[in-house]
Amino acid sequence: MTEGCKHTVIIGAGVAGMAAAIRTAALGHQVSVLEAASEPGGKLREQTHGGYRFDLGPSLFTWPELILELDALARERAPSDAHLPPPFCYKRLDRSTHYFWENGKRLIAWSDRKQFCDACASEFDVPSEHVANHLAHSSDSFEATRRIFLEQSLHEWSTRKTGKWRAAARFAHRLPWLGTLHRLNERKLKEPHLVQLFDRYATYNGSDPHRAPAMMHVIPHLEHGQGTFFPVEGMVGITQHLHALGMALGVEYRFGHRALHIENNGERVTGVHCSDSDGAKHTLPADIVISNADIWPTFRNLLPDLPAPENILQQERSTSGVIFYWGVRTERPELHLHNILFSRDYRTEFKSIQQQGHPGDDPTVYIHISSKLKPDDAPKGCENWFVMVNVAANPTGVTAQLPEIRQAVLSKIQRTLGLEVEPLIETEKHFTPTTIESRTSSHLGALYGASSNSPLSAFLRHRNRSTQLEGLYFCGGSVHPGGGIPLCLLSARITSDLIEQRP
């Protein structure tokens, strides 16, 4: 260790862990990242089979400025002889999603707001200004609250003394503080198809729109205000770029190294005990430890000697997913990058997930086809279908129901698109909550840690700085501000800011 240089050890090379590595290295720290897998990315990795390439995890890319911010930081702080990657490259899309209903209704969610509102008016016979006003309120609510609820810690007194709270107060009377997201959408939009469309934004963090707070109304702004994008190398290009930026800053990545215990003297962290792929045990000394692991195994497995935040660990888990990766011998012009085939009854679907663990025989099906924009992801005349349904975070129960879930998905596609897809599938793999838990250590396979089915959910996510051990920090989708690529990147920014404030 360089004399006078702080050594930071980061547990987990997911998106937040890699972003935290870039930021702490830019602060001048010596940074080591421990990753149990053989490659970086956490949930955001890729696989290939039968001539098809698939992004495994997150498939929606929004808020690219957060990646560009890391890119600029690395280029500013990297040594002059560093091997920096080319600038991060992505495309802005002219649409976000293609929506389909069994009754024949179809809608393209154009990026141009007027074009989208006009399409809603034409398809559903509603005044376009109703949709425009709903989107405008989403944007205003997002801008009024982002600096408080997303871009700073909610748990540090120092952040509560800023003018951000006073600025938000001017819009407070217009924020949807009470009720559920579904009730808000129903009251403002009334038209059932549009209500269901805007209800789906609760699933962005694994929640139920009929229980999730109305404040999730801010989420549509990410797509319809800021826009949707696509990395030219596919979603895994984000992983590859962040990893390369860290390497250029001198970050040490130790793949095949599983963290076993966060060492401490009762007052502050002292290091991380780990095992390598050969089973040999090591201890890396550390002044700072950042856990990018799920908060549940962080306390249960890595900090068993520390009192755990039981009120946080016992919260309801977010939904998980069953994902089928199908190489399909067809090209469907009605489909695009993101496609949603809605269930006939959203409330019944979520009730089934809550009570039975699966969405029943009429699931909402999401189909992501990266070969629409990156043709080399599939052979000529074919497409790579990433097909997902929401399920409960229940590894054993969902795995037992996998054949029924698969059949429900196939039937849903046939009823909605008029396509019998099963004979066209030439290669197939699947992920379940069991796969997700085993590959990423996400407790019970939950995709976003705790659910947000409570008005207080934002405040019940674990803080980014420990008050029990000096030098211990947390980032990633299971802590503040939440799951998904943008929020994970923000958690890394918040964590590094807190570290910088405590020299």
pLDDT at 50 over 60: yes
- Residues 296 and 250 reside in one and the same domain: yes
Predicted confidence at residue 455, as pLDDT, reads: 79
- Residues 79 and 133 reside in one and the same domain: no
Domain final residue pick, 188, 204, 223: 223
Q: Is residue 1 part of a domain?
A: no
Q: Find the domain containing 424 and state its range.
A: 319-440
CATH of the domain at 306: 3.50.50.60
- Residues 217 and 127 reside in one and the same domain: yes
Dump the DSSP string for 473-486: EE-STTBTT-SSHH
Domain final residue pick, 393, 411, 440: 440
Look at the chain and report how many structural domains it folds into.
3
- Residues 213 and 304 reside in one and the same domain: no
- Residues 324 and 431 reside in one and the same domain: yes
Predicted confidence at residue 4, as pLDDT, reads: 64
Dump the DSSP string for 159-171: GGGSTHHHHHHTT
Q: Is residue 101 part of a domain?
A: no
φ and ψ at 129, to 5 degrees?
A: -70, -25
- Residues 196 and 167 reside in one and the same domain: yes
Q: Residue 91 pairs with which residues in a beta bridge?
A: 230
Q: Kindly indicate the confidence band of residue 155, based on its pLDDT and cuts at 50, 70 and 90.
A: confident
- Residues 266 and 353 reside in one and the same domain: no
- Residues 331 and 397 reside in one and the same domain: yes
Mean confidence (pLDDT) of the chain: 94
- Residues 248 and 152 reside in one and the same domain: no
Nearest to 460 by CA among 313, 319, 297: 313
In the chain, the amino acid numbered 41 is: G
Q: Is residue 136 part of a domain?
A: yes
pLDDT at 499 over 60: yes
Segment 222-250 mean pLDDT: 97
CA 20 from centre of chain: 16
Q: Kindly indicate the confidence band of residue 1, based on its pLDDT and cuts at 50, 70 and 90.
A: very low
pLDDT in tens, 409-448: 999 999 999 999 999 999 999 999 999 999 999 999 999 9
Nearest to 52 by CA among 301, 234, 195: 234
Segment 132-138 mean pLDDT: 97
Q: Is the separation of the CB atoms in 40 and 13 below 8 Å?
A: yes
Q: Is residue 96 part of a domain?
A: no
- Residues 303 and 238 reside in one and the same domain: yes
Q: Kindly indicate the confidence band of residue 208, based on its pLDDT and cuts at 50, 70 and 90.
A: very high
Question: pTM score, two decimals?
Answer: 0.95
Q: Kindly indicate the confidence band of residue 286, based on its pLDDT and cuts at 50, 70 and 90.
A: very high
**Of the ranges 1-5, 229-233, 455-459, which is most confident?**
229-233
Q: Which residue's structure tokens are 């002292």?
A: 270
Q: Is residue 105 part of a domain?
A: no
Assigned token pair, 231: 């990395």
pLDDT at 280 over 70: yes
CA 34 from centre of chain: 21
Dump the DSSP string for 383-432: EEEEEEEEE-S-HHHHHHTHHHHHHHHHHHHHHHH----GGGEEEEEEE-
Q: Kindly indicate the confidence band of residue 80, based on its pLDDT and cuts at 50, 70 and 90.
A: very high
Distance CA(59)–CA(299), nearest Å, equals 29
Task: Say whether 358 sits in a helix, a strand or coil.
Answer: coil
Q: Kindly indicate the confidence band of residue 5, based on its pLDDT and cuts at 50, 70 and 90.
A: confident
Distance CA(298)–CA(291), nearest Å, equals 7
CA angle 367, 371, 376 (to 5 degrees): 155
- Residues 143 and 196 reside in one and the same domain: yes
pLDDT in tens, 178-203: 899 999 999 999 999 999 999 999 99
Q: Is residue 103 part of a domain?
A: no
- Residues 154 and 251 reside in one and the same domain: no
Predicted confidence at residue 462, as pLDDT, reads: 93
Q: Is residue 399 part of a domain?
A: yes
Q: Is the separation of the CB atoms in 104 and 128 below 8 Å?
A: no
Domain final residue pick, 223, 256, 274: 223
Portion of the chain with pLDDT greater than 70, in percent: 96
Predicted confidence at residue 446, as pLDDT, reads: 96
pLDDT at 248 over 90: yes
